[in-house]
Structure 1
Amino acid sequence: MTYSDLGRYNEALELQKPLLEVSKQVMEKSHPETLTRTNNLAMTYSNLGRYNEALELQKPLLEVSKQVMGEDHPDTLTRTNNLAMTYSNLGRYNEALELQKPLLEVSKQVMGEDHPYTLTCTNNLAMTYSDLGRYNEALELQKPSLKFQSKSWEKSHPETLTRTNTWQ
């Protein structure tokens, strides 16, 4: 993870792939640690722009995560968001939308409307609407999201600035 944090994704990949295989053998495919390692590898692929390889890991990962941890578990929510973002990166916006709309509702229920994760989900959904040319729907999401964010973070916080720029 340190290699990933440093942006040294190829070096992270060299360690993550064998680590995941050992984890599958020693524990099992559905063990929470194995699921985390699978997610980490998928994110490394995404960071390298290798979205199809990330997708191959993320789709089954999400299904197992739902079974093992439940649909409302924070790790499952994160994995749902990651898969949606991979779909977006591949230009598969309708598939991203199918995940993002229910994800936002669950996030609001589990974490609250003004939680930073919910605000991120709101912004991601709005970006997908924009990518699909559905600008009015994007704007409807972004204006209230910015108000929540302004209460949570300072106006000069990088996330506030990013989200303000996104909807202006």
Structure 2
Amino acid sequence: MCACRGTAGFAHVSCLAEQAKILMDEAEENNLSDKVQSERWNRWYKCSLCEQEYHGVVRCALGWACWKTYVGRPEVDVARQVAMTLLGTGLGEAGHHEDALTVREAELSMLRRLGADEITLLVAQNNIACTYSLVGRLEEALHMRRDIYFKRLKLLGEEDSLTLNAANNYGLAFLNLQRFEEAKPPLRKMLPVARRVLGENDEITLRMRWYSAAALYHADGATLGDLREAVTTLEETERIARRVFGGAHPLTVDIERQLRDARAALRAREATSK
């Protein structure tokens, strides 16, 4: 459930959880720097070998382990707060979206009660919007993602990774509603920024290229040239995703599925245009 290949890709989940707990305990006991503590905290959701985030049931299991480790702390404790975030993410990764939504909403309520800053609240709201999409509440997801995108753009500027991720989610919300022409503007505007700031290998950039291609070939009135451009974009994006994340990663699998659909649409259009 990461990008490790061969025997390096196997480990006991309980060992991963215990390693993360021990590293964080040492960091807190020795009052290590925030940078070191942040790096060690990553072990709760990111592989120490390939540096890719876990996904699927492994992410869910580690989310539960993290929550059980820190749930006894006060609400103001940062570790407890972030553990709640990881639990919601893990539940979603394993397909338990209704449960994830319950956790997400409880987290946002807690953050508001504690007087969290606007950026922190936007992150929590973004997680809820993503889960809304997964449970079929698409219009609610669109409205929330629109607000998040424009607020991040104003607060953080267009080059911040949170703003770029919000642009992705905003475009995806239109795709989910099959409003393909409306998906194009935010994606077209931010894709060059993502490629420049984050690079071609970043997940946000890959998703933005994928969503842009999907909006292009699904749109009413898509030309033969549009279909060919979409296929070429998806082929390039799939190769990068496979190299960076591996063939079993959900991102790679989803791009492959979109590529098959785009190729089928292209073949059908070419057949009728002869």
TM over 0.5: yes
State the secondary structure of the residue aligned to 1:27: coil
Q: Do the aligned residues in 1 keep the contact of 2:201 with 2:241 (CA within 8 Å)? A: yes
Larger radius of gyration: 2
| Alignment match, 1:4 | 92
Unaligned runs of 5+ in 2: 1-87, 264-274
Alignment equivalent of 2:217, drawn from 130, 149, 162: 130
Q: Give, in whole Å, the separation in 2 of the partners of 1:116 and 1:45.
A: 21
TM-score calculated relative to the size of structure 2: 0.53
| Alignment match, 2:164 | 77
Q: Do the aligned residues in 2 keep the contact of 1:126 with 1:139 (CA within 8 Å)? A: yes
| Alignment match, 1:139 | 231
How far residue 106 of structure 1 moved from its aligned partner, in angstroms, is 0.9
State the secondary structure of the residue aligned to 1:99: helix
Q: Do the aligned residues in 1 keep the contact of 2:168 with 2:207 (CA within 8 Å)? A: no
| Alignment match, 1:113 | 200
Q: Give, in whole Å, the separation in 2 of the partners of 1:106 and 1:41.
A: 25
How far residue 130 of structure 1 moved from its aligned partner, in angstroms, is 1.4
How far residue 45 of structure 1 moved from its aligned partner, in angstroms, is 0.4
| Alignment match, 2:130 | 43
How far residue 35 of structure 1 moved from its aligned partner, in angstroms, is 0.9
Q: Could you tell me which amino acid in structure 2 is paired with residue 118 of structure 1?
A: T
Q: Give, in whole Å, the separation in 2 of the partners of 1:143 and 1:53.
A: 32
| Alignment match, 1:20 | 108
Q: Could you tell me which amino acid in structure 1 is paired with residue 204 of structure 2?
A: Y
CA deviation profile, 1:28-58 (whole Å, cap 9, x unmatched): 5x62221111001111101101111111211
Cα distance change, pair 117–19 in 1 and its aligned pair in 2 (3 A): closer
Q: Do the aligned residues in 2 keep the contact of 1:24 with 1:34 (CA within 8 Å)? A: yes
Q: Could you tell me which amino acid in structure 2 is paired with residue 138 of structure 1?
A: A
| Alignment match, 2:49 | none
Cα distance change, pair 116–62 in 1 and its aligned pair in 2 (3 A): closer
Number of residue pairs the alignment of both structures matches: 166
| Alignment match, 2:151 | 64
How far residue 160 of structure 1 moved from its aligned partner, in angstroms, is 4.9
Cα distance change, pair 19–151 in 1 and its aligned pair in 2 (3 A): closer
How far residue 6 of structure 1 moved from its aligned partner, in angstroms, is 2.8
Unaligned runs of 5+ in 1: none
Q: Do the aligned residues in 1 keep the contact of 2:158 with 2:190 (CA within 8 Å)? A: no
Q: Give, in whole Å, the separation in 1 of the partners of 2:130 and 2:252.
A: 24
Q: Give, in whole Å, the separation in 1 of the partners of 2:115 and 2:194.
A: 30
Query: For the aligned residues, what is the CA RMSD?
Result: 2.5
Cα distance change, pair 37–152 in 1 and its aligned pair in 2 (3 A): closer
TM-score calculated relative to the size of structure 1: 0.82
Cα distance change, pair 66–17 in 1 and its aligned pair in 2 (3 A): same
CA deviation profile, 1:124-164 (whole Å, cap 9, x unmatched): 2111111113312313423443454565465x455556545
